[in-house]
């Protein structure tokens, strides 16, 4: 049965982690994976989440099945976080939100549903994008191409190229957009640039799929959600995937949501009925614990306020590490302008280093980032940023 099965290529980032684990260098630093670490270099258990754990443990519940679309209070709170509590779309019953297995699960439910309603559509993702976008939409049965995004020369977004590529897309093309904290580049569009993207989405009748894996990591929950609200004002139908992996530090619980904006409440009811079939035939219904934790935090004003504070602390620490890296590089003798690192937002920095330089960083210094030059700034701390700066300086050879 399996004699013709070929070995699949190893996952680039997980492969990096394996290499990191095996590296005997005592100063080694893993900047490969997209996981936030605190100042002590460990994955944090948020105070608000720990408090929610205690609250849930104080009243143990039997573990029944959730509804196919998840915990209703959770779905309602996700809607409010993403669209804003006062959104007319919510009042009009135009938004379907279902609990999903992290951001990835949300993208996959959306992709599978889209394959039913737009089987011939092409998918466009940014160049570059999160690795799994290409694979996930391809596996869902779509042909995936790329729109221009990163401008290596200018160190920013190639807005003209992006708009031209979207403008050239056939009506109905599915366009995957990073709502904030673009992975891997760290460069986002300005509100004005988003309006120009929305112009093209409306004019060309494109299907926008906003991937929001980092709400709150750029400027704040409300600020980062503004992109979704800008779409809500002008685009009749679109998709939003939400991940709480980073914002609640709940990576392994697989908590996320998929929201679909529909033309009216009747359409929303029909769409929900179909999305439920996608879920039912994949895993029947989602797990209880992660969503219960998020819901407990969001529904309790004190815990929610503490979570907002903690999210701000994570965001500020990453920003401080960006500045520390730029200062560290200058101290280590790098003369070229590296200030673009502080222009970027979110967990990642496209460092501008070549593949050869990234390989040298790894083999000579035990500093692990991806071959594309992406490093996770959220894994830097006061204890390792000096060493990382000196290592980067050594391979930059200024
Ligand atoms: N989209 C993007 C852009 C991401 O960076 C990630 C996580 N690395 C995801 C989706 C998936 O999130 P999750 O881990 O919640 O599945």
Walk me through the domains of the chain, giving residue ranges and CATH numbers: 12-45+309-396 (3.90.1150.10), 65-287 (3.40.640.10)
For CA atoms 310, 312, 318, 321, give the dihedral sign.
negative
Look over the chain and give the mean of its residue pLDDT values, rounded to a whole number. Answer: 96
pLDDT given at position 248: 98
Exposed / middle / buried, residue 336 (Cβ in 10 Å: 0-12, 13-18, 19+): exposed
pLDDT given at position 9: 86
Exposed / middle / buried, residue 390 (Cβ in 10 Å: 0-12, 13-18, 19+): middle
Q: Which residue has the tokens 């699960």?
A: 105
Quickly list DSSP for 150-189. Answer: EETTTTEE-HHHHHHHHHTSPTT-EEEEE-SS-TTT----
Judge whether 393 and 50 are in contact, CB under 8 Å: no
Question: What mean pLDDT do residues 54-67 have?
Answer: 96
pLDDT given at position 352: 87
Compute the distance between CA of residue 248 and CA of residue 59 in angstroms, rounded to an integer.
22
Percent of the chain with pLDDT over 90: 96
Classify residue 373 as left (phi > 0), alpha (psi -120 to 50) or beta.
Answer: left
Q: Look at residues 34, 38, 36, 32 and name the one whose alpha carbon lies nearest to residue 20.
A: 32
Compute the distance between CA of residue 388 and CA of residue 357 in angstroms, rounded to an integer.
13
Q: Answer whether residue 53 shows pLDDT above 70.
A: yes
Q: What is the number of alpha carbons within 13 Å of residue 75 lying toward its C-beta? A: 20
Judge whether 66 and 36 are in contact, CB under 8 Å: no
Compute the distance between CA of residue 82 and CA of residue 106 in angstroms, rounded to an integer.
14
CA of 176 to the centre of ligand 1 (A): 13
Nearest atom within ligand 1 for CA of residue 104: 16
**Ligand 1 binding residues, C-beta < 6 A:** 34, 102-104, 130, 178, 183, 211, 213, 243, 245, 256
The residues facing 123 across adjacent strands are: 144, 174
pLDDT given at position 174: 98
Question: What mean pLDDT do residues 195-222 have?
Answer: 98
pLDDT given at position 398: 64
| 307-347 confidence digits (pLDDT tens) | 999 999 999 999 999 999 999 999 999 999 999 999 999 99
Going by pLDDT thresholds of 50, 70 and 90, the confidence category of residue 15 is confident
Q: How many residues does the chain have?
A: 398
Q: Looking at 3-12, 81-90, 214-223, which range is the least confident one?
A: 3-12
Q: Which residues are catalytic?
A: 130, 211, 246
Question: What mean pLDDT do residues 19-23 have?
Answer: 95
Q: Which of 43, 101, 130 has the most ligand 1 atoms within 8 A of CB, as the residue to mutate?
A: 130
pLDDT given at position 13: 80
* pTM for the whole structure: 0.97
Q: Which residue has the tokens 């704040």?
A: 220
pLDDT given at position 178: 98
Going by pLDDT thresholds of 50, 70 and 90, the confidence category of residue 374 is very high
Percent of the chain with pLDDT over 70: 100
CA of 129 to the centre of ligand 1 (A): 11
Nearest atom within ligand 1 for CA of residue 254: 15
| 94-129 confidence digits (pLDDT tens) | 999 999 999 999 999 999 999 999 999 999 999 999
Instruction: Report CA 43 to chain centroid distance, whole Å.
Output: 17
Assigned token pair, 274: 């179909």
Quickly list DSSP for 251-303. Answer: GGG--EEEEEE-SSHHHHHHHHHHHHHHHHTTTSS--SHHHHHHHHHHHSHHH
């Amino acid at each position: 049965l399996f004699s013709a099965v070929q070995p699949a290529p190893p996952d680039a980032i997980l492969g990096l982690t394996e290499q990191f684990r095996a590296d005997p260098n005592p100063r080694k630093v893993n900047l490969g994976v997209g996981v936030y670490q605190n100042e002590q270099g460990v994955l944090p258990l948020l105070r608000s989440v720990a408090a929610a754990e205690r609250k849930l443990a104080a009243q143990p519940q039997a573990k029944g099945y959730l509804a196919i679309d998840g915990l209703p209070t959770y779905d309602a709170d996700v809607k409010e976080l993403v669209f804003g509590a006062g959104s007319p779309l919510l009042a009009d019953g135009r938004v379907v939100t279902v609990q999903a297995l992290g951001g990835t699960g949300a993208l996959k439910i959306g992709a599978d549903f889209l394959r039913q309603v737009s089987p011939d559509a092409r998918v466009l993702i940014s160049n570059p994008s999160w690795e799994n976008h290409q694979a996930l939409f391809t596996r869902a049965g779509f042909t995936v191409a790329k729109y221009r995004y990163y401008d290596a020369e200018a160190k920013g977004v190639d807005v003209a190229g992006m708009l031209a590529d979207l403008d050239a897309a056939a009506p109905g093309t599915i366009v995957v957009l990073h709502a904030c904290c673009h992975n891997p580049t760290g460069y986002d569009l300005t509100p004005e640039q988003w309006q120009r993207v929305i112009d093209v989405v409306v004019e060309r009748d494109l299907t926008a799929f906003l991937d929001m894996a980092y709400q709150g990591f750029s400027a704040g929950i409300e600020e980062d959600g503004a992109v979704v609200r800008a779409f809500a004002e002008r685009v009749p139908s679109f998709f939003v995937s939400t991940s709480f992996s980073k914002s609640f530090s709940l990576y392994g619980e697989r908590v996320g949501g998929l929201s679909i904006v529909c033309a009216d409440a009747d359409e929303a009811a029909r769409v929900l009925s179909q999305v439920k079939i996608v879920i039912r035939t994949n895993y029947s219904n989602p797990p209880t614990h992660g969503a219960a934790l998020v819901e407990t935090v969001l529904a309790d004003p004190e815990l929610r306020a503490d979570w907002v504070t903690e999210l701000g602390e994570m965001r500020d620490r990453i920003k401080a590490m960006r500045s520390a890296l730029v200062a560290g590089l200058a101290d280590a003798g790098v003369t070229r302008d590296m200030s673009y690192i502080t222009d970027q937002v979110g967990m990642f920095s496209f460092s501008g280093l070549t593949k050869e330089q990234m390989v040298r960083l790894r083999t000579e210094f035990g500093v692990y980032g991806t071959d594309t030059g992406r490093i996770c700034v959220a894994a830097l701390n006061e204890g390792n940023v000096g060493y990382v700066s000196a290592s980067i300086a050594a391979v930059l050879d200024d």
